[in-house]
Amino acid sequence: MEDCIFCKIINGIVPSNKIFEDDLVFAFRDIHPVAPAHILIIPKKHYPNLEAIDATDQPLLSHLLHAVNLIARQECLDKNGYRIAINCGPWGGQVVQHLHMHLLGGRKLADELG
C-alpha cells in the first residue's frame, strides 16, 4: 500500500535494519526498542491489522509464527525465552496500520502485559 510506512520498508523505499526475509515475511529492528531485542515481523502483503485476517490467511499466520522460531534462534533468544505481541486497533495500542508482531527479548520481561 502506497502510503504505508511498513510497505515502504519492505520495498526498500524507507531504510531499515533488516534481520530476516523470505517470500512472505520481512523482519527488522524496531526504531524505538523497549527491550535489548525488539524485532518487528510483518507479512509482505498489506493487512491493516489482525482483524483483516480471515480463514484463507491461516497458512500465512502459521508461516509468520514459523518465522518467529527462526528469528528467535538466529538472535539467540530461544534459550531464555521471549514474548510476541500483536497490537490491534486503538485500544490495543496499534500505531502503524500494517499487521505486525513485536518480538521482545534479551532481558526478563515484566509479568504484566499492559
H helices, E strands: number in the chain? 2, 5
Minimum gap (Å) between residue 26 Cβ and ligand DGP: 11
C-alpha–C-alpha distance, residues 39 and 104, integer Å: 7
The residue within the footprint of ligand DGP, chosen from 2, 23, 32, 79 (CB under 6 A), is 32
Instruction: Please pick, from the candidates 39, 68, 94, 103, the single residue that binds ligand DGP as defined by CB under 6 A.
Output: 94
Can 46 be counted among the known catalytic residues? no
Q: Is 89 in the site for ligand DGP (CB under 6 A)?
A: no
Q: Where are the alpha helices (DSSP H) in 1-114?
A: 5-10, 58-74
84 scored as a contact of ligand DGP (CB under 6 A) = no
Shorter beta-carbon distance to ligand DGP: residue 42 or 72: 42
- Phi and psi dihedrals of 85, rounded to 5? -130, 140
